Structure 1
Amino acid sequence: MHPIMEQSFAVIDSEIGTHNFNPCEYAIIRRIIHSTADFEFLDLVKFSPEAIASGIDALRRRLPIVTDVNMVKQGIVSLVAQTFDNQIISAVDRVKSPLPGKTRTETGLIECYQQYPEAIYAIGNAPTALLALCKQLEFSSISPALVIGAPVGFISVLESKTALANTPVNQIRIEGRKGGSPVAAAIVNALIVLAM
């Protein structure tokens, strides 16, 4: 680990103090705070019971990682290449023209789920993509290994996270309007370090 990262983690640890997270949960939350300098994430990150174990297992089995946008992909590509070398697919990059009434990201996500239903899904930007994934889960018996639900913004963001919360899929979810590509990437990178 780079000395600056070590120093940053030490500052984060000292400011957080005592907490009730288990070591794996804390490793993920600390990485998010390191990426955002926002301690509000302490109260916003929600883990389903098997989410971390399933994510780690999926990484070790080299299942694909599907991101909604290229920025999430770019945030994880270096560490993935150095470790498990999972295939990384950016949903938005798969689509030249979207399905009628849908965004490119939404269309790409649907295509990715049809091809890689058991993948890890890391959504850090597009709530429409998260909503599309949740809709696909209603009609399928195959669940992704893990869904990281961290879209950011004001339109459909809360609805997409509520939809995810109401599915039985393994998930790491950011409550409220906050999130973003750096948050989704931080979660994947933290899982990779745990998997190592």
Structure 2
Amino acid sequence: MNPYSSSLNHPILKKSFEIIDQEMGDHNLNSLEYAIARRVIHATADFEFANLLRFSPDAIKNGMDGLGSQIPIVTDVTMVKQGITTLVNKTFNNPLISAIEQVSDALPGKTRTETGILKCFEQYPEAIYVIGNAPTALLALCQKIADLTIKPSLIIGVPVGFVSVVESKKILAKTNVSQIRVEGRKGGSPVASAIINALLILAYEK
């Protein structure tokens, strides 16, 4: 079944996907990777993401299995949480936690999002972590899990910007954890939300 044939999708969304399919051209993505890339392109109108997305082995499977098992989803910021709440509620009702909402003050030398991510990891070490805004949170998470046996089921690491963004993604790439990331400076909360929403639909229609 086409992962976007679900009743969850609006006709305008289907039409948008048809246009993307027509304009996409050649690519090296498999069908599941393309389903994710297509939703990211829809969210950004940027076809370059088809060449920037990176998927570790079993990342999509682990993400789908985790979502279907109703494991928690931890986002770095509220915007990502808001971007996925509707589909989470229509599919598996996973616990949905925004890291920045878990703390009122940052630890010394850390950002609030970084502090929140570390707090969430203590409570939900095997959650799916979705980082679309804060490279400091991605760095902190990667450093925390580097020598641990228990790791997140999946990390979606797609922060956007100019400071520590590329560095955080390079560290994620070297971390032994299932991951979906975007190379370079591009990314952002809409991209992070699009990736999780695509995984939710893939898992729901599995």
Match of 1:94 in 2: 102
- Runs of 4+ with >6 A deviation: none
* TM-score calculated relative to the size of structure 1: 0.99
Q: Does 1:192 align with 2:200?
A: yes
Match of 2:53 in 1: 45
* TM-score calculated relative to the size of structure 2: 0.94
Q: What does residue range 21-60 of structure 1 map to in structure 2 within 5 Å?
A: 21-60=29-68
Matched letter for residue 20 of structure 2: I
Matched letter for residue 164 of structure 2: S
Deviation of the 1:18 alpha carbon = 3.3
Quote the Cα distance in structure 2 between the aligned partners of 1:3 and 1:167: 40
The Cα offsets for residues 134-172 of structure 1, whole Å up to 9 and x where unpaired, read as 011123210100000000000000110001000010000
Quote the Cα distance in structure 1 between the aligned partners of 2:140 and 2:133: 13
Q: Does 1:168 align with 2:184?
A: no
Q: What does residue range 86-165 of structure 1 map to in structure 2 within 5 Å?
A: 86-165=94-173
The Cα offsets for residues 79-106 of structure 1, whole Å up to 9 and x where unpaired, read as 0001100001000000111110000000
Range with bigger deviation, 81-90 or 137-146:
137-146
Quote the Cα distance in structure 2 between the aligned partners of 1:61 and 1:67: 18
Which of 60, 64, 71 does residue 63 from structure 1 map onto? 71
Quote the Cα distance in structure 1 between the aligned partners of 2:74 and 2:148: 18
| Structure 2: runs of 5+ lacking an equivalent | 1-8
Quote the Cα distance in structure 2 between the aligned partners of 1:139 and 1:46: 23
Quote the Cα distance in structure 2 between the aligned partners of 1:87 and 1:173: 22
Matched letter for residue 22 of structure 2: S
Match of 2:93 in 1: 85
SS in 2 for 1:168: coil
The Cα offsets for residues 97-133 of structure 1, whole Å up to 9 and x where unpaired, read as 1110000000000000111010000000000000000
SS in 2 for 1:21: coil
Matched letter for residue 49 of structure 1: P
Matched letter for residue 168 of structure 2: S
| Structure 1: runs of 5+ lacking an equivalent | none
Quote the Cα distance in structure 1 between the aligned partners of 2:199 and 2:52: 18
Deviation of the 1:195 alpha carbon = 0.1
| Cα RMSD (Å) | 0.7
Matched letter for residue 36 of structure 2: I
SS in 2 for 1:99: coil
Matched letter for residue 160 of structure 1: S
